Structure 1
């Protein structure tokens, strides 16, 4: 019996030792895997940093700079554009330059170089070729840092006039959307008289068809130095005077009616004689002559007689007189 008990105890001890060894082995393997993961992580990080550093030394632009560049490789450089010219392993030559109004840049050893009208790749090839006279096998990179030459000029309405700096290819609809952030075009511009002047020639573009009818054939590409004429539409507006809360001039919109204009002027006052409302309208083709149209606006509001809610025309004047007590 004692012998059997001894054997059992020995077996238990052996099993405990084996369990401890398995546990120790498992812990060791886990630690080794964790250590490998950490080493791999830092190795990839260091490799990435080294790769980026080497790329910069060779004049290659970092990813952030690449994202700032225009996607169009055919971009033509113009005055006031900013270029960064990198010559590999030559910090004295590498520098940022601004294109002068005459279209040239100043660069060490090469004096003045004409670059306006060239692509960054063409500028790189030109500098590389000329620099080879002074530097052995120069490796040149030209990075477009800032686009300042893509300008268009807005004239006509004083509230919209100015210079717009574009940073990428832009069509007419996109340009008008940018301008409309300042002021609604429908309130400020006579679209029928708007036009584009390019190189001294007036382009055949219908602004009204583009914005009001969605005619995409009018959506042309805007080029640098285009002049966009957006005339004020004051003479096309509607005037509301008399017994309204805020007499005012209202931008003409297609389909606008008498009641719409009166409400835009704050609505009638308590003293308004609505059924004696008048529209004074210039006669077509007859300068300084007008016709007067009576509107029963009270019947429109109180009785729903919409036939009296007439559609307005540009240059109409609405007059709401006071009631006679």
Structure 2
């Protein structure tokens, strides 16, 4: 799960750009992949945090205040540490980052002890957002909250436009490193009260409502 989570930031970034560029007509994924994606539980809050770009970390070196520093994770996934220079941070847990810095500092000081505190979780906030785009009144991106559904997001965006192909809506979800396209019968939800496809959402989900072809 840690490997998948370390890749999630990049996958979500690509997914956002792809959907916004007009992949709303993408065919649905296979029934097997759809079922697997729908059964994926929400990531446990107790899972170890994985660092990513825009996070800010406090690097503390015991008895070496001059080497302690608060620094953001750069877009290339690295941070700069006194004596050591650039260190890969993105994709690592705080403890893994601390271990890496300790190993490199050992060339300069005796038995270094490094601790890492994440003071700003910018990358986590980006990855965990839920988005709706396409033929809606107001494309929307909001932080994930437990219990959110497709209908919640559509209503929060002001509803669909008169040109929406409601029953061709897709829910895009990252599952095991792949993007799964899940069909949503949005017209049935809004007009008939059929909530069969009013799926519960997961962090990083994107709902795309296409326009009708004339």
How far off its partner does 1:105 sit? 0.8
CA contact (8 A) 2:184 2:197 kept: no
Residues 160-180 of structure 1, C-alpha deviation per residue, up to 9 Å, x if partnerless? 33554x4xx766826875775
CA contact (8 A) 1:172 1:222 kept: no
How far off its partner does 1:91 sit? 1.6
1:68-107 pair list within 5 angstroms = 71-107=45-81
2:96 to 104, 122, 137: 122
Counterpart in 1 of 2:172? Answer: 196
1:226-237 pair list within 5 angstroms = 228-231=206-209
**Bigger proportion of residues as helix:** 1
SS in 2 for 1:134: coil
CA contact (8 A) 1:76 1:118 kept: yes
CA contact (8 A) 1:171 1:222 kept: no
In 1, the alpha carbon distance for the partners of 2:209 and 2:57 equals 37
Residues 31-67 of structure 1, C-alpha deviation per residue, up to 9 Å, x if partnerless? xxxxxxxxxxxxxxxxxxxxxxxxxxxxxxxxxxxxx
How far off its partner does 1:93 sit? 1.3
CA contact (8 A) 2:62 2:114 kept: yes
CA contact (8 A) 1:207 1:218 kept: no
CA contact (8 A) 2:57 2:118 kept: yes
Counterpart in 2 of 1:56? Answer: none
Residues 96-140 of structure 1, C-alpha deviation per residue, up to 9 Å, x if partnerless? 111111111111111111111111111111111111211222221
Shift in CA distance, 109/163, structure 1 to aligned 2, threshold 3 Å: farther
In 2, the alpha carbon distance for the partners of 1:184 and 1:112 equals 46
Shift in CA distance, 205/135, structure 1 to aligned 2, threshold 3 Å: farther
Counterpart in 2 of 1:221? Answer: 202
1:282-297 pair list within 5 angstroms = none
Higher Rg of the two aligned structures: 1
CA contact (8 A) 1:195 1:207 kept: no
SS in 2 for 1:142: strand
Shift in CA distance, 126/193, structure 1 to aligned 2, threshold 3 Å: same
Residues 209-236 of structure 1, C-alpha deviation per residue, up to 9 Å, x if partnerless? 999666699435324xx5x133278x7x
CA contact (8 A) 1:210 1:219 kept: no
Name the count of aligned residue pairs.
159
How far off its partner does 1:206 sit? 3.6
In 1, the alpha carbon distance for the partners of 2:68 and 2:74 equals 18
Counterpart in 2 of 1:173? Answer: 148
Say what the alpha-carbon RMSD is for the aligned residues: 3.9
Shift in CA distance, 141/229, structure 1 to aligned 2, threshold 3 Å: same
CA contact (8 A) 1:83 1:143 kept: yes
Counterpart in 2 of 1:136? Answer: 110
SS in 2 for 1:92: helix
Shift in CA distance, 97/202, structure 1 to aligned 2, threshold 3 Å: same
Counterpart in 1 of 2:83? Answer: 109
